Amino acid sequence: MTEHHSDDCLFCKIIAGDIPSIKLYEDDRTYVFMDIMPQTRGHHLIIPKYHAQDFFDLPIDWANACLATAQKMAIAAKAGLESDGVRIMQLNGAAAGQTVFHYHVHVMPVMKGESMALHARDMEKPDVLQPIADKIIAAL
C-alpha cells in the first residue's frame, strides 16, 4: 500500500495494481511505467509510493528517491532505444500543465530532429508500447 495512499488517485491505483500499467521498474520507494499518451517514443513516468500532489507536498527523501530512479531509467532508455538525448520534465499545478495530481517525473527519450507530440493528448495501444518497454527493461 502506498504511504499517504489516496483512494481516488489514478496513480495510487496503478501502484496497487487496481488499474493496469506497463511496468518498467519498481523498488521499495518508486514505481515506473509507460505513459499511455506518449510525447516521444519511450516516454515513461516515475512515481513515488507516497501520495503527494506535487513537488511542494513531497518530502525531500521521496523526491530524491524519484530522481535516483529517473537517472537509472534515463540511462537505460538512452541505451535501450539508442536515443540521442533524454528530456526530464516535472509539472506542478494545473497552471503548469499538470493533469494527474500524484507527483511524477516524466522521462522522454528524444531522437535528433524529432518533434514532440502534444502533452497528454493521444492514447497509444498497449501492443505498441510493450515492445518499446521491453527494450528499456533489457537495458536496465
Contact between 24 and 32 under an 8 Å Cβ cutoff? The reply is yes
Among residues 106, 110, 124, the alpha carbon closest in space to that of 32 is found at 106
Which residues of the shown chain bind ligand 5GP in the complex (CB under 6 A)? 10, 21, 33-37, 91, 97-100, 120
Q: Which is nearer to ligand 5GP, 64 or 99 (CB)?
A: 99
Q: CA separation (Å) from 17 to 22, 28, 99? A: 11, 15, 21
Chain positions contacting Zn ion, by CB under 5 A = 6, 9, 11-12, 51, 102
Residue 12 binds: one of ligand 5GP, Zn ion, none (C-beta under 5 to 8 A by kind): Zn ion
All three cell numbers of 7: 483512494
Q: Residue 100: which of Zn ion, ligand 5GP, none does it interact with, CB under 5 to 8 A by kind? A: ligand 5GP
Q: Which residues are catalytic?
A: 104
